[in-house]
Structures are given as C-alpha cells and as structure tokens.
C-alpha cells in the first residue's frame, strides 16, 4: 500500500501547483498566500523581470500583478517529475503559459506565449506549502 501513499502525496503536490497557476485564470488570489510557506526562508526566481531573488511578500505582489495584466491566461504543466524526500519535495516540469498581455493605459494587447521550465520546492508543514519557485524561459 506504500505506492498509494506516494501517489496521493504527488497528487497533493500537483494540486498545490495547479492552485498557483489557476489563480492566473480565475484572478482569484485568495488561495495564493495559503499555499506558500509563510517564512523568511521562502524564495523565488521569476521568468519575468525583475530577475533577482525575491521574498514571499514581493513574490505574491508580482505574481498577482502578472496575472492581472494577462487576460485569457492559460497554462499547461507538462512532464512533471515529483520527488518526495520525507517532509520536502521537488516538482520539476515543463511549463507553457499563454494569454493576452494587456496595456490598460493604451488599450492595446499583445499575444504572449512563454515556454519554460519550472521547479517548485515544497515543505510539509503540516500540509504541503511552496518554499521556493524557480521559473525560467526557454530561449527559442
């Protein structure tokens, strides 16, 4: 029965990751804070500028701004590999993000598509929380 427990943990982890990206589709950011580790040890790198290492507060603010500025946002998580090490886990996957980047001042929009890679590090405390995010674009 050990295999079932691992599968259920993998499903929990994928659900957390999907919750993160679903916020971009629904524009409902109420769950974002709940799925992140609220700790000074949290960190993230983004696929959009600024590219510096960010803390939780900055990450949440920038992700919300990104998601608000993209209409018709959609994403696809491809080829996920989830490795659980006790109370920590690493989820690595290919990521495609698409939508219309809207400039509300000029009333214009530009289709965007970002092919990239993502790595999420999660800590179980007591449920799975995102402790680190690294998103990077694949240069085409």
Each residue's pLDDT tens digit in the chain (140 positions)?
Answer: 455 555 589 999 999 999 999 999 999 999 999 999 999 999 999 988 889 999 999 999 999 999 999 999 999 999 999 999 999 999 999 999 999 988 766 667 789 999 999 999 999 999 999 999 999 999 75
Domains identified in the chain, total number: 1
The DSSP 8-state label assigned to residue 89 in this structure reads E
Distance, CA of 73 to CA of 97 (rounded, Å): 7
Distance, CA of 8 to CA of 26 (rounded, Å): 25
Domain, as residue range, for 110: 2-137
pLDDT at 31: 94
List the structure tokens of 34. 């709940």
Distance, CA of 66 to CA of 53 (rounded, Å): 17
Containing 95, the helix (H) or strand (E) segment is strand 88-103
Tell if the pTM clears 0.85, that is, is over it: yes
Shortest CA distance to 130 belongs to which of 18, 35, 24?
35
CATH of the domain at 126: 3.10.450.50
Task: Establish whether the linkage from the previous residue to 126 is cis, with ω within 30° of 0.
Answer: yes
């Amino acid at each position: 029965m050990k295999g079932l427990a691992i599968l259920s943990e993998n499903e929990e982890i994928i659900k957390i990751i999907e919750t993160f990206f679903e916020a971009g589709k629904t524009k409902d950011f109420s769950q974002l804070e709940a799925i992140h580790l609220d700790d000074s040890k949290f960190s993230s790198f983004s696929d959009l500028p600024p590219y510096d290492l960010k803390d939780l507060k900055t990450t949440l603010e920038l992700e919300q701004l990104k998601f608000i500025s993209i209409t018709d946002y959609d994403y696809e998580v491809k080829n996920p590999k989830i490795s659980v090490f006790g109370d920590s886990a690493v989820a690595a996957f290919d990521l495609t993000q698409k939508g219309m980047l809207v400039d509300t001042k000029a009333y214009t929009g530009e289709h965007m598509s970002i092919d990239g890679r993502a790595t999420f590090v999660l800590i179980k405390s007591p449920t799975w929380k995102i402790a680190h995010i690294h998103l990077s674009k694949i240069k085409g």
